[in-house]
């Protein structure tokens, strides 16, 4: 009975303490509000000087523009919240930024990580993963450039291999047509005060004849075709391309070339040299623009004497022909 009585007294005391505390708190709040309300009739400078300015953190005070005394508190630019309540105005919520947030006074900026793009519908705060189209485009471009690089490489290798193969073939033909023997004969005639046989390459003659174009043909015969050639230095020559070549007569052919390049006669077209890099050797003569011996003999109105002069010419032509002159029946004649 005594314990129950003491417990009732204790509860009554706690209830009184709680009521008194609430009354004290209400009095403090009321006094604070009255104090601030009374200072709201002051200007910003007056309230600031008295230390009772109601504006909280990150705010600024603006004097009343209505003509009545007083002021009002406004959050600083970029800040949000209640300017009169503690703790004042706050920075915007940077948690809304879904990417990389860069904080600035009163604001922030958002950027996206690699592989993401800014979401235009989220006021620049959101990021979206790049769609699968981007990797496909990059992959396609990479494959395209890779394929082009491989194609260029294969093309370059093909032409390089083809050129190397052509060089080997020409070297083989040069040896097959007596090129080594010709070099030995040329070396043996050096210092003998005679014209040396010129060895032309296949590339030189192809360029000189514009790859043996039809408009460079001077004439055709039973043994081959004669082309007009122009070298890079401006020298004009006649190039004879024979139809066939007897491989068993290679040594004799080389000897005849050496001899004929040393022949100098006003009535005989000079042999300058040869090319042995083709299947059939090519002969290079000096170019004479006065026509052929056949044309001069059969041309109407041409007066030919049948004396010792003609006999000596016939003997010379016979001697050079007998020595194995490697040319066709229709040779060019210098009518000097």
Binding site members: 241
**Residue indicated by tokens 């006065």:** 290
Q: CA 215, 220, 225, 229 torsion: positive or negative?
A: negative
C-alpha angle 284-289-290 in degrees, rounded to nearest 5:
120
Write out the binding residues for ATP: 241
State the CB neighbour count (10 A cutoff) for residue 145. 10
CA 56 to chain centre: 65
Element (H, E) at 321: helix 308-322
- Which residues make beta-bridge pairs with 292? 332
**DSSP-assigned letter for residue 58:** T
Does an H or E element contain 242, and which?
Answer: strand 236-242
Biggest CA-to-CA distance, the chain: 181
């Amino acid at each position: 009975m005594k314990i129950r009585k003491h417990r009732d007294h204790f509860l009554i005391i706690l209830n009184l303490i709680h009521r008194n505390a609430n009354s004290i708190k209400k009095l403090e709040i009321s006094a604070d509000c009255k104090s601030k309300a009374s200072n709201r009739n002051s200007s910003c400078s007056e309230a600031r000087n008295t230390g009772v300015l109601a504006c909280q953190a990150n705010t600024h005070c603006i004097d009343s523009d209505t003509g009545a005394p007083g002021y009002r508190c406004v959050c600083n630019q970029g800040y949000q919240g209640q300017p009169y309540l503690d703790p004042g105005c706050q920075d915007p919520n940077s948690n809304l930024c879904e990417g990389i947030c860069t904080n600035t006074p009163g604001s922030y900026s958002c950027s996206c990580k690699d592989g993401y793009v800014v979401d235009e519908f989220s006021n620049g705060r959101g990021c979206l993963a790049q769609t699968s189209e981007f990797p496909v485009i990059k992959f396609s471009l990479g494959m395209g450039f890779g394929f082009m690089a491989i194609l260029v490489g294969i093309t370059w290798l093909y032409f390089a291999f083809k050129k190397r193969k052509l060089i080997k073939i020409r070297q083989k033909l040069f040896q097959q047509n007596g090129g080594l023997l010709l070099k030995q004969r040329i070396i043996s005639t050096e210092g003998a005060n005679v014209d040396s046989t010129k060895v032309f390459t296949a590339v030189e003659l192809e360029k000189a004849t514009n790859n043996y174009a039809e408009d460079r043909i001077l004439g055709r015969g039973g043994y081959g075709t004669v082309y007009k050639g122009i070298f890079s230095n401006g020298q004009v020559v006649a190039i004879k391309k024979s139809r066939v070549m007897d491989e068993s007569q290679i040594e004799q052919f080389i000897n005849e070339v050496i001899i004929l390049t040393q022949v100098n006669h006003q009535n005989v077209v000079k042999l300058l040299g040869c090319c042995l890099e083709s299947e059939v050797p090519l002969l290079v003569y000096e170019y004479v623009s006065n026509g052929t011996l056949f044309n001069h003999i059969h041309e109407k109105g041409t007066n030919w004497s049948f004396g010792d002069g003609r006999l000596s010419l016939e003997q010379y032509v016979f001697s050079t022909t007998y020595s194995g002159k490697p040319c066709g029946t229709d040779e060019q004649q210098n009518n000097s």
